[in-house]
Amino acid sequence: MKQMDKTRILFICLGNICRSPATNAIMQKFVDEAGLTDKFVIDSAGIGPWHVGQLPDKRMRQHGTKRGYKIDHIARQFDASHDFNDFDYIVVMDDENYKNITWQAHDEGERKKVIRMADYFIKYKGRTSVPDPYYGGDSDFELALDLIEDGCRGILNKLTNKGNS
């Protein structure tokens, strides 16, 4: 059921086991720490069906734990039949995600809800995506978390009218 008084954000990546569940947990923590828990609905979903029902990738959970995040979203697949309607912003991690999700939009209004995480980077302004760490190593997971923290700060600043530096 749609909650009209809240800002509803859905984070998207390919598998919903690395980048978007991490973003889900990090944004939720930032919102909670800002005392805005009641003002936001945060969720995440994947483009592909491969990991539906699974906990996030163990490597992402471990890297997240070291930074104080509990990354425990259960993977689900993006569903264009209701996710466009249920969310105000659909935030994608890279250009492939952007193409895939905008292609599923039913009209211009839905297409405009789709935004790129990279457009909200502050410290990492100039980078164009949160690269997929799935086939990478420790440094790729750390970079993904650095970029995600930066993008979440940027999005929250924007939505709370603190600017985007």
- Which residues make up the interface to ligand 4NP (CB under 6 A)? 13-19, 50, 132, 134
Nearest approach in angstroms of CB 11 to ligand 4NP is 10
Pick the catalytic residue from 13, 94, 150, 153.
Answer: 13
Give the C-alpha distances (Å, rounded to integers) separating 16 from 5, 73, 102, 113, 158. 27, 9, 17, 19, 24
Query: Which of 28/97 has CB closer to ligand 4NP?
Result: 97
Q: Which residue is nearest to ligand 4NP (CB)?
A: 15
Pick the catalytic residue from 8, 19, 61, 153.
Answer: 19
Q: Which residue matches tokens 């947990």?
A: 25
Spatial separation of the C-alpha atoms in residues 117 and 30, rounded to whole Å? 16
Spatial separation of the C-alpha atoms in residues 49 and 82, rounded to whole Å? 16
Closest to 95 in 3D by CA, of 126, 118, 123: 118
Nearest approach in angstroms of CB 15 to ligand 4NP is 3
Which phi and psi angles does 89 have, rounded to 5°?
-130, 135
Query: Which of 7/54 has CB closer to ligand 4NP?
Result: 54
Pick the catalytic residue from 57, 83, 94, 132.
Answer: 132
Nearest approach in angstroms of CB 64 to ligand 4NP is 13
Nearest approach in angstroms of CB 19 to ligand 4NP is 3
Q: Three-state SS for 121?
A: coil
CA dihedral angle for residue 152, residue 82, residue 18, residue 34, rounded to 10 degrees: 30
Query: Which of 49/106 has CB closer to ligand 4NP?
Result: 49
* Known catalytic residue at 13: yes
Query: Which of 10/159 has CB closer to ligand 4NP?
Result: 10
* Per-residue DSSP letter, 40: E
Residues annotated as part of the active site: 13, 19, 132
